[in-house]
Structure 1
């Protein structure tokens, strides 16, 4: 593959051996890199790329043998989730495509190190192949490009080449990029602004021993603080479900939970810039949202804002350790509050299949995935309600 479009675009069958080999090797390299291992999200990505995990996904598509990648996928990765470009690249490869991945010019630190590692591995593959020491490889299926978000000309150029354009970002980014035309036979897959929530069973939380509570709080930390709550799947709202209707009387349970979260959040690096933006966002919310109560502060790292009604959940987006707290007696109270902007429901104390049936039977327009607390950031081939392997490949009928 050449970016100038003069050479052919390579396609593979989904979950091809060269791709599986490359991603599993990348998993091992991440595991042995001290800098990358220190980043929670990148470590999770490396764990996700394990051969056993990829085989599990491949088995889910067994019997669907007549598929090929669409061709060339142009990925526009977000700047606020440093490793998102790698997740997007991986799913493009697994679906059988060649990939151009646009990485923000602001990418630095571990995100840049991950990009450099992938580039190094691709270069090693190419040298080995040209020397006749190996066959296969995917070195001609991945290209990274980096430029400022204001460079419309470059985005237009890569858009003119691609068969599928994948846009990660806020609503504004998605709208701006979609104004740039594609070929008539190409299409967009978009991931605009979304919000997520955590559903806690009050009785189940109250039964936890101290060590169990601390472990649960750490899982919550991984879902939220580890990415500054920037991910669409990171909970902003915490909903306490008390079937006895005694939510307001169980302040001790809630305080114990938030105290455990405060302890877990001690590891979070709240920089002056983050602290300022966090305070600014809370002030703006207080001015514009009449349903908010006074924030409860557990130090600077954790702010909890009680909300009077489960209404307009999606518009309340926390960041850097700001959470909106609700109480409900019946799950049905969620029905009018959930719209298309709600992506993920993490939960504790529930049968997930029953919650999925509740979403289906209630015909909710939002909630595309339901996962246990601690798995909000676990990427799956089905994301935002879309099977990305199918969307990024074509079927030969």
Structure 2
């Protein structure tokens, strides 16, 4: 009996070792990314702190009248300790739409304000929820005016969204789970419920094998077994809704695709793929926005700042701050300033994606919502 126990133990140990070796070989690679940063146009001292936070922020959205909204990053699981959705009022995060409503959130990722003055939020199913939820809230009343639960398994990692000018189409980016599931761009029509999943097989949406380097070191999970390689993440619509710009977090290039074709089911994947336009190199990025002059702004994760794509296609670093651990969501305010979050992901994320302890989160306080004034970046 003892001999059989030893044999079974040996077989299990070998199987575990082989499994870990496979995981390392398939998902644990990653090369250092060649820097595309340029000398910053403005010093890090130009950055202003909009709000000092107890927990790491995820995304930020600004309405036409300047009202500013943000959330705590779902990776931090801050709902264990209090509110997670806020309006920033006089530099203070105020639970939004109310303190009582906080129990309703399952982890907001992407957020954006449309031209109908509605705040749209996407809450992906991710690792620990059954279904992904999309909601819209009237900012005139702070009341929920739309809700849709996607079917189980649909858009489980939807983390960014944009709304067309007429408010009738929602564009979503599903990053995929590293290389385990395929990323996709989705077009959803709230009125009809029609959903199109697009570019699931196209190279532009897939993660490349780069290792993200941060002030806290290379960012991997499972003690190096899984590279933090993420597919299509940030998306932005041109002001005229003609183009959707997009980029993978772990991808070397920025792309755009005609929205009309993306939204038209008569364009099959092959035909749509032919219309994807390469816009040149970019940093390893998270959030994307387009400024009032039509220039694409991207967060630069590795250099703690913001990068702008000029009209001639060249990149220029707007600001770089070594104290920023992970430049995440970005948006332009009505006064032209750029607001972005430092979600500080590597400071607290667990190696096995478990909720971080309160002690670990507290150890890296304070967290910040940042502002780069317009006068610094004309």
Normalised by the shorter chain, which TM-score bucket?
under 0.3
Q: Specify which structure has the higher proportion of helix.
A: 1
Q: Specify which structure has the higher proportion of strand.
A: 2
